Structure 1
Amino acid sequence: MSANQSLFDNHGRKINYVRLAVTDRCNLRCFYCMPEEGIKYVGREELLSYEEMIRLVSTLAEMGITKVRVTGGEPFVRRDMMKFLQALCSTPGIEKVNITTNGTLTAPLVPELKAMGISSVNLSLDALDPARFFKITRRDVFPQVMDTFEALLHHGIDTKINAVVMDGQNTEDIIPMALLSKDHPVSVRFIEEMPFNGEGSHYERLAWNHRRILSHLQAHFPDIEKVPDPPHSTSYNYQIPGHQGTVGIIAAYSRTFCGTCNRIRITPKGMLKTCLYDDGVFNIRDIMRAGATQEQLRDTFLQALGNRAKDGWEAEKQRTLNHPIQESMATIGG
């Protein structure tokens, strides 16, 4: 394949976006992501090295990938992350490098992130009430996260706020979170809770799905308007009249956006996931360490994308009976 060639799966969906998890470690213990005692972290030798990740991204860029989102765990707990991000931004064919972070360590780094050309940052923030924030994250770091929010705005980095809506945990914060879009040019996105918390589903049914979240917003903002969604958007996007920013709802559990999915995921250990809900297709790390050529890497990716599930429900159904969903989002890449 030549550079800039388009990459498609077996359902005709263009694939141009990779979510790259650089670590499974995190300095928070969010209720919806991992148990309070944490998870068994991957050993350093099991992680993809920075050199391996740059080779991987370079190969994907030759095949048509143009956008990379760096995730974790929390990306900035890994040493030398800024050097890696600089190398990633310099990779031929990569047009956008975005980051998802919990914001606890990020504020001092924002000027450098801006200078290297980071396109946007997704800031995980599930509550504006410090007490609820502490209850959800099990850590007292709310001021540091808000410092990051202010720094991102000050330096003009495109910012999205990601809030997972959890019954009995933070539904009181939905309206205050939406009001962040009034005076700030941010996108506040409310996400359905998923069972990737290291334990499995917390509920027999999803109490706050995308429809209920929208109804709640409409009750408080009767004039809220639907706005066009960008191509491949995972969120349904809305504008509240008079607000600088927008509000979005991500049906992450309901999986209503699968038909336009343009992304693949690489876990910290190098496992390719062609869907968030599958249990992994093949391990890229092992193939590279076994001496695979660039052509062999490309052929392996093409084979995986040629057998991709049509949606998250099919991907979950194809998981073996011995592997029900119970992994932590930190081991997948948020």
Structure 2
Amino acid sequence: MSVRKQSSANSPDKDSATNSHNQSTSVRHNRITGSLMMLPGLALLAVFSFIPLARVVVMSMQGTDLFGSPSGFIGLENYITVFTDPSFISVLVRTIIYAVVVVLGRLILGTLLAIFLTRQFKGNKVFRIAMTSTVSVSVAAASLGFLAIFSPTGIINSALEKFNISPVGWLTDPRWAFPTITVVTIWTGLGFTLILLCAAIDAVDPEILEAARMDGATEARIQRSMILPLISPTLFYIAVTACIETLQAFAQINVMTKGGPGQATTTITYNIYTAAFGAGSANFGIASALGIVLFAFVFILTLLQFKLMDRKVSY
């Protein structure tokens, strides 16, 4: 009788141990399965991201001969050359200004257009398609189109001549080349920005807005105090991704101005290209050092955005 009682008393402990063993086995199995499912993605990242990044780091500490082949380890000499270059600071400042203006332009113009496009009016869908269709146009193709518009004999200057107005050097005058490239960059990313913002505004609960209207809130107050806070996660996402994209912008500069006139439209990204391939250059060591500097700059700027802007986002 006592044996039966003892066995019945021990059975819950055995069941608990069995359940714990089964749970640990299940957790282990899930981890192994998850790791196996991540392997293809990690392999692609290793081949196309991690390994190239490691090679760039190594190359940035090597000299290169006239044909671009490594000529030996030189430590931080390439970085010293980059930071002591008199033009580096001006290029860096220009790159920062370029990124700030483009990001603000996309956010402000995109938000205003998205608010307009999400209103109910006749022809709303046509306007939406027209404004967001730019996302299907590549940056290179768009740059060629704008080159035809802003060139010295382009559409705009031809129209100005008809009104006896002197042609403007949109791409040849340092005062106009940088703003022109900035406008083109804003336009090339505006379609994707509008898609995200229109979707975010459409997702706002209409009952909340209707309740605000019944309480006497004006449309301007609703947009400022309700719509903007509710779509702030989308605005934050656009700010971060647009900043990273702008800092890496290359096609529009290469197609339209080649970094000129002078260095009026040269950014760090275009500086990397000219160091590696421009005018017969093959200084891959300097180009790699510039690439690492750009990587560090983008990383630090992204962290600052998260630190300063994430607090103002309403999740």
TM-score by length of 1: 0.21
* Larger helix fraction of residues: 2
Higher strand share: 1
